[in-house]
Amino acid sequence: MNLSAQVSTPQLAGIFAALFNRAFATMRELGKIRWAQKDGQPPQLLYTERSRGESGVLAFRARFEGGVHFSATAHQHLIYFQMSPSVQIECRMDGLHAKQNATAGALAIGPAGIYCEAESNQSMDVLLIAVDPRRLALASAEDHVLDAELRARVSGYDEYLLRAARQLESEVADGYPRGPLFWNEAASRLIDRLLTGHTSIPLPSSRGRLGPYALRRIRDYVFAHIAEPIQVAELAALIGRSEFHFSRVFARSVGMTPYRYVVHLRLQAAIQHMRDGRMGLAEIAAETGFADQSHLSRWVRRVHGVAPSELA
């Protein structure tokens, strides 16, 4: 963040107070989180902006002076990276315990709803990535591995995951210079790595879950009829379930309602058309099943946080 030399001290204090309040309001949204440095005060938050749209991923960088206390039971999956050169740290989570000399890049993973805590008597920089469980569920479904569960970890190292997290951190620090599509794609790469490297193999789908074959049928049907109106009842009939039961099972398995999933697939197709640059926005809307150009624009703004022209 570049501040002009003409900004007065009271103005500067007001700017940083606003950044502090916005950042900690965002942290409160994540769940029950308590963090403090040696003097009992909250750590210094280095990056405080949140991404536009609905990527389902947030990135924070915090600096603890003289010591660390961190405890959380979050609504979201939390991935912690220790960014200082070398720190003695003790972590506990879900019955796991580690007391170690953590080098830069060491990670811990706290799945949503799991109590975790960390202590150190040294200064430390921490990069924290928060992932909405619904976003992980959607990515799991799209990879045909429904119900994958994120594993708790109190120690470890994953170079690929660290690179993805640093890329997100760089975007936050610089004010998202490469735009929302780049952010969403970087967030997707991080989530894909979580899926491939840090989830447990799911058990076979039960009657209360949607199976991979059923989801493939639904996805293929949507793309085959993407320019047409699609009703939830049609999707339920594909796999022989009542509309009510199907909607509950689908949301539990995929992380969003059937209607929202159809919009998700329509947006994927629409954005690909925008990138190709061969159609106008009104034609793209018609080709991908949106009511009109305004309807498509509203969904682009909601999901990606910008106008369609900024995506193209």
pLDDT tens, residue by residue, 124-179: 999 999 999 999 999 888 877 777 899 999 999 999 999 999 999 999 888 888 88
Indicate the SS3 state at residue 40: coil
pLDDT at 13: 46
Residue 225 CB partners (closer than 8 Å, separation 6+) = none
Residue 5: CB atoms within 10 Å: 4
Query: Which residues of the chain register pLDDT less than 50?
Result: 1-7, 12-13, 15-20
H or E stretch including 115?
strand 115-120
List, edge to edge, every strand of the sheet that includes 31-37. Answer: 31-37, 68-74, 115-120, 86-93, 96-103
Q: What is the pLDDT of residue 202?
A: 62
Rounded CA gap, 49 and 60, in Å?
9
Tell how far CA 74 is from the center of its chain. Answer: 14
Question: What is the reported pLDDT for 90?
Answer: 95
The reported pLDDT for the residue numbered 143 is 79
The backbone torsions φ and ψ at residue 131, rounded to the nearest 5 degrees and listed phi first, read -125, 125
Cα angle 135, 229, 252; round to 5: 30
**Are 108 and 128 in contact, with CB atoms under 8 Å apart?**
no
CA atoms of 130 and 108, how far apart (whole Å): 12
* Residue 2 CB partners (closer than 8 Å, separation 6+): none
110 touches 72 (CB < 8 A): yes
Q: What are phi and psi of 98, to 5 degrees?
A: -145, 135
Q: How many CB atoms lie within 10 A of CB 141?
A: 23
Helix H or strand E encompassing 155: none
Residue 22: the pLDDT is: 55
